[in-house]
Amino acid sequence: MEQLYATAGITKDEIAGSVVMYGVPLYRKDGIHLGAKACYAYGEPFVCTKSALQGLVSIGDQNQIIVIVENEMVFTWLMNHIPDNHEIGLICTSGQLSTVAWNVLSLLKKTSCRLYYSGDMDPEGLLIGQSVVQQMDGQVTLWHMGEQDYLKAVSKETVSQRRMALLASMKNEQLTATAGMIRKTGFAAYQENILDLYLKDIENSFQ
pLDDT of residue 6: 47
DSSP designation for 55: T
User: pLDDT per residue over 121-142, tens digit each?
Assistant: 999 999 999 999 999 988 999 9
Amino acid at 155: S
| Overall average pLDDT of the 143-158 stretch | 97
| Overall average pLDDT of the 131-160 stretch | 95
Local confidence band at 4 (pLDDT 50, 70, 90 cut-offs)? low
Angle at 142 between CA 60 and CA 194, to 5 degrees: 100
Question: How many residues are present in the chain?
Answer: 207
Local confidence band at 62 (pLDDT 50, 70, 90 cut-offs)? very high
pLDDT of residue 16: 59
User: Residues near 204 by Cβ (< 8 Å), separated by ≥ 6?
Assistant: none
| Overall average pLDDT of the 155-169 stretch | 96
Decide if pLDDT at 108 tops 60: yes
CATH number of residue 86's parent domain: 3.40.1360.10
d(CA 20, CA 191): 17
Provide the angle, in degrees to the nearest 10, between the axes of the packed helices 99-108 and 123-135.
40
- Count the domains in the chain: 1
d(CA 18, CA 29): 21
pLDDT of residue 14: 54
Q: What is the dihedral of CA 21, 24, 88, 45, to 10 degrees?
A: -30
Domain that holds residue 83: 2-203
pTM, 2 dp: 0.90
